[in-house]
Structure 1
Amino acid sequence: MINKKNSSHFLSYFPQFSRASCGLLLTVVGLSGCSSSPTPNYYSLTPTVKPLVSSNVRVIEVLPVGLPDRLNRAPMVLQDSNGKSHILGNERWTSTLGAELRDGLSAGLQQKLGAVDRYSSGMTGGKVSYRIATDFSRFDILERSNTRSLMGAMSQDIEVAVAWIIKRDDPARPLNQPTGVQNTVVPNRQLSCRMAFTNSVRTDGNKIVDIVNVSKQSLSQVVEAIAASVIATEANTPVVMESVTCA
């Protein structure tokens, strides 16, 4: 940094600068050294779910989720009604949104099913497990002009579109069933499901906190739906849940 002590040396090397110009340069450098950007706010996407009374599922494997690149970042992204994206540099998830969704799904499903996620626990094989692959085509924060408001207020929605595949894996299941033996072994079934929904954000003063809370509620809905499909896969029964389609 240039200071008053060495300003004379600076002028000796650059005689075209006047002492007034040098003083101005010192002032600008000093101000730039003292300036600082606001400290970012960080939020997590931890869902809230109620555990099942009982579940026979003991091991799950929640894979990293699919998510569009436009959303898979730490700063929050708001989409307006014209499709324009606004990146909120000081309002951030504690990790990228894709990592937040995977960790939230894992935590919620472990709590809901009373199971262990072997993907992050380091558990070895040998037990029946349910592999869960999830793809979010949308987890958008939408901001729209409220035409009913005389003040021109903005309303926010959380719009979610997600698909997932549940695959049952039993390492003890024989590859070939002997001829003439009644088949009593549960097959390694695979189930594909999808759902889409929108939740409105009701702001009570802190818009960002309300957006985060509704985002958590939305992820909790996804956890409930995936847990129901895991139970259906385990019981070899259809999934009966509103807004969820499985095949």
Structure 2
Amino acid sequence: MKNRKKLLPLAVIAALVVLAGCASKPDNYYTLASAVPASEAAPPTRGTAAPLYIELAPVAVPERLARPQMVVGRANGSVQVDVLEQHRWAASFENELQDALASGIAARLGALDVTKGGRQSSQPVWRVAVQVRRFDAVDGGRVDAGFNWTLRRSDQPRTMACQLDVGEAVAGGIDAVAHGAQRVTAAAAAAIARSVNAARADPAATACPT
């Protein structure tokens, strides 16, 4: 008796080929964190008589951005955006942004980031709460963002409210968009660090430095 080979339907074969092609295409992961230039970094306060602590609350972002996939707008004023499955942040956008801001602020202040713990309750900490009003990226166009934040020292009643609008032109390609987003995030971290320094220098200050 001859062996009869079972043939798969063409539609099934085509589907398997497509799935194999998708599975073989690697995801691209990006981070918003970047190295702080030596000219902007402050000496660490760890081990000094007055160590500086910062604590960053979870960052509030627009719902459409609360995902690991990069969300990129289309050029020429289109209202459409693309959610890029193959281009993702290393964590969900709001978590990636929180980590990048916290590390950038801490480095610029020489502070200890105690966002995830590590501080005794008797030690005062500068608490920062950031809200992202917008974070718009267009491939081959710009990355534009708006940030609001408040800061308060845990043992003081005063709260300082600040905001920043910042933008960066970007060349074509998703790598360029990611670098533009990094620069915008670094600018926000620098502005928040300046506001902490202003509040430390003037206990009566309620306005952020420009």
What TM-score, normalized to structure 1? Answer: 0.70
Letter of the structure 2 residue corresponding to residue 46 of structure 1: A
| Partner Cα distance (1:101, 1:27) in 2 | 43
| Partner Cα distance (2:145, 2:126) in 1 | 23
| Aligned-residue RMSD, C-alpha | 2.5
Q: Deviations over 1:184-232 (max 9, x none)?
A: xxx43210001112211134xxx11111111111111001110011111
Distance 1:123-1:201 versus aligned 2 partners, 3 A rule? same
What TM-score, normalized to structure 2? Answer: 0.82
Deviation above 4 Å: which 4+ runs of structure 1?
53-57
Alignment of 1:63-142 (within 5 A): 63-80=57-74, 81-142=77-138
1:24 aligns with 2:20: no
Which residue does 1:173 correspond to in 2?
none
Secondary structure in 2 aligned to 1:119?
Answer: coil
Distance 1:211-1:43 versus aligned 2 partners, 3 A rule? same
Secondary structure in 1 aligned to 2:142?
Answer: strand
1:42 aligns with 2:38: no
Secondary structure in 2 aligned to 1:120?
Answer: coil
| Partner Cα distance (1:164, 1:57) in 2 | 23
1:166 aligns with 2:151: yes
Secondary structure in 2 aligned to 1:82?
Answer: coil
Displacement after TM superposition at 1:169 (Å): 1.4
What is the identity percentage for the equivalent residue pairs of Structure 1 and Structure 2? 26
Which residue does 1:196 correspond to in 2?
165
Letter of the structure 1 residue corresponding to residue 170 of structure 2: V
Most deviating of 53-62 and 102-111: 53-62
8 Å contact kept, 1:57–1:234: no
Secondary structure in 1 aligned to 2:116?
Answer: helix
Letter of the structure 1 residue corresponding to residue 131 of structure 2: D
Decide which structure has the larger Cα Rg and report it: 1
Secondary structure in 1 aligned to 2:121?
Answer: coil
Secondary structure in 2 aligned to 1:105?
Answer: helix
Q: Deviations over 1:69-125 (max 9, x none)?
A: 101111111112221011111011111110110000111111111111212133231
8 Å contact kept, 1:118–1:124: no
Secondary structure in 2 aligned to 1:196?
Answer: strand
**Aligned residue pair count:** 193
Name stretches of at least 5 consecutive residues in structure 2 with no aligned partner: none
Letter of the structure 2 residue corresponding to residue 240 of structure 1: P
Letter of the structure 2 residue corresponding to residue 86 of structure 1: D
Displacement after TM superposition at 1:54 (Å): 7.9
Distance 1:31-1:77 versus aligned 2 partners, 3 A rule? closer
1:240 aligns with 2:209: yes
Which of residues 197, 211, 224 is equivalent to 2:177?
A: 211
Secondary structure in 1 aligned to 2:65?
Answer: coil
